[in-house]
């Protein structure tokens, strides 16, 4: 995992960056869970979302509008809590619908030192689900640091606090397939002036690198 791997953004017709619809669907779901259906409907209207159901990639700008309006209607801590829940829901969706059951079983049987790199390589192919036009890469020795350059939730945010709760939860939910108890912590964030968002992987004590 010491090498540097960068995935290109997903660009479709007309040069429009795209993202998986679950980034939006799960944010609306998370808001409805915590603040009610009317709050989710209000967010959808404020973000000018179409009423059609979405089964394919959608413009990344829709997700950015959802994030921007969410941060307008809710205080910062509540908005981040909604985004954290949305990230976990997105991770659950990817686990169940993008990662085949036999592969999930294999990950559970392998030691984390083997399973984590395999899983990261696999879900990197689906990075568009959460990264949009942001560039995803893995740096450093095992277990590595996940880097998002241009994360949609942080690209236009500016403030004293980091804004990567969505990605902390999404990555943590996904990577727990390979290492139950793993924690993902944002160590740098573009929203506070860092060049990119960086997420540190913290192994549970019983899975320290020396014991894998």
pLDDT single digits (tens) 117-142: 999 888 777 676 678 888 888 999 99
Phi, psi of 199 (to 5 degrees): -120, 115
Note down pLDDT in tens along the chain; length 212 residues.
433 333 334 444 456 788 889 999 999 999 999 999 999 999 999 999 998 777 788 999 999 999 999 999 999 999 999 999 999 999 999 888 888 999 999 999 999 999 999 998 887 776 766 788 888 889 999 999 999 998 888 876 666 677 889 999 999 999 999 999 999 999 999 988 899 999 999 999 765 554 44
| CATH class of the domain defined by 11-211 | alpha beta
User: How many Å apart are CA 174 and CA 207, to the nearest integer?
Assistant: 17
Give Cβ neighbours of residue 29 (< 8 Å, ≥ 6 apart): 40, 86, 89
Domain boundaries along the sequence of the chain = 11-211
User: How many Å apart are CA 73 and CA 42, to the nearest integer?
Assistant: 9
């Amino acid at each position: 995992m010491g090498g540097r791997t960068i995935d290109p953004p997903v660009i479709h017709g007309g040069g429009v960056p795209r993202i998986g619809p679950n980034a939006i669907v799960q944010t609306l779901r998370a808001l409805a869970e915590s603040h009610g259906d009317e709050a989710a409907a209000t967010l959808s209207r404020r973000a000018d979302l179409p009423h059609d159901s979405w089964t394919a990639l959608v413009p990344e700008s829709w997700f950015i509008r959802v994030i921007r309006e969410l941060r307008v209607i809710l205080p910062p801590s509540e908005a981040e809590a909604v985004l954290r829940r949305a990230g976990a829901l997105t991770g659950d969706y990817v686990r169940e619908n993008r990662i085949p059951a036999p592969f999930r079983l294999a990950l559970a049987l392998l030691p984390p030192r083997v399973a984590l790199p395999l899983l990261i390589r696999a879900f990197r192919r689906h990075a568009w689900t959460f990264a949009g036009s942001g560039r995803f890469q893995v740096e450093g020795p095992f277990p590595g640091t996940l880097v998002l350059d241009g994360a949609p939730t942080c690209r236009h945010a500016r403030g004293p606090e980091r804004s990567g709760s969505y990605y902390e939860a999404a990555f943590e939910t996904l990577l727990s397939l390979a290492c139950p108890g793993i924690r993902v912590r944002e160590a740098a964030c573009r929203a506070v002036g860092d060049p990119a968002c960086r997420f540190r992987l913290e192994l549970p004590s019983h899975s320290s690198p020396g014991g894998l």
